[in-house]
Amino acid sequence: MSKFTKKKSNELPPVSTASLPDIVFMLLFFFMVVTVMRDTELKVEQNLPKANQIEKLKKDRSVFIFAGKPSIQYKKNFGDEGRIQIGDKFTDVSNIGLALTEARGKLNPELQSKVVVALKVDDDTNTGLVTDIKEKLRELNMVKIIYITTSGDPLEQ
């Protein structure tokens, strides 16, 4: 009997799992910090043009307008022409007002008057569509806009 127990005690003790929660929490926090919440599913292509004279976008006071050709899975229903997306649905130029007012309502009330409209437009889009959007924005009196770009030298493209 005593021989039996002696044999068992010679084995290594199991690895302590006390620190496992810590590691898990660490990973959790890490991913919480790094991941950017994406509340909208992109339905249009987004190859942003390059520019180097850029400023930072203040996220807390901005609403997004996406524009570009519908991505592959939507091509069948929405065709090949440039389309506008606000929130997660396609919008017509005439409906921008309603969609933007809704998006603005979600911002912090103090910042709603300082709203900046961020235009994320695919580089293959016609400028005409962008002009239509801008005309509409002027009518809505949301005159602060920012053309979202990626950083790079535009002369190289």
Of 45, 59, 47, 37, the closest CA to residue 146 belongs to 59
Residues in region 55-114 near another protein by CB under 8 A: 55-57, 59
Residue with tokens 């962008």: 130
- Report yes or no: 40 and 64 within 8 Å, Cβ to Cβ: yes
Is residue 23 near another protein by the rule CB under 8 A?
Answer: yes
Burial of 78 (0-12, 13-18, 19+ CB in 10 A): middle
Contacts of another protein in 109-148 (CB under 8 A)? 116, 118-128, 130-131, 134, 137-139, 141, 143-148
Minimum separation from the CB atom of position 13 to another protein (A): 6
Q: Would you state the structure tokens that stand for residue 140, as one six-digit string?
A: 């809505």
Q: Which residues bind another protein (CB under 8 A)?
A: 6, 9-13, 15-16, 18-19, 22-23, 25-26, 29-30, 33-34, 36, 49-57, 59, 116, 118-128, 130-131, 134, 137-139, 141, 143-151, 154-155, 157
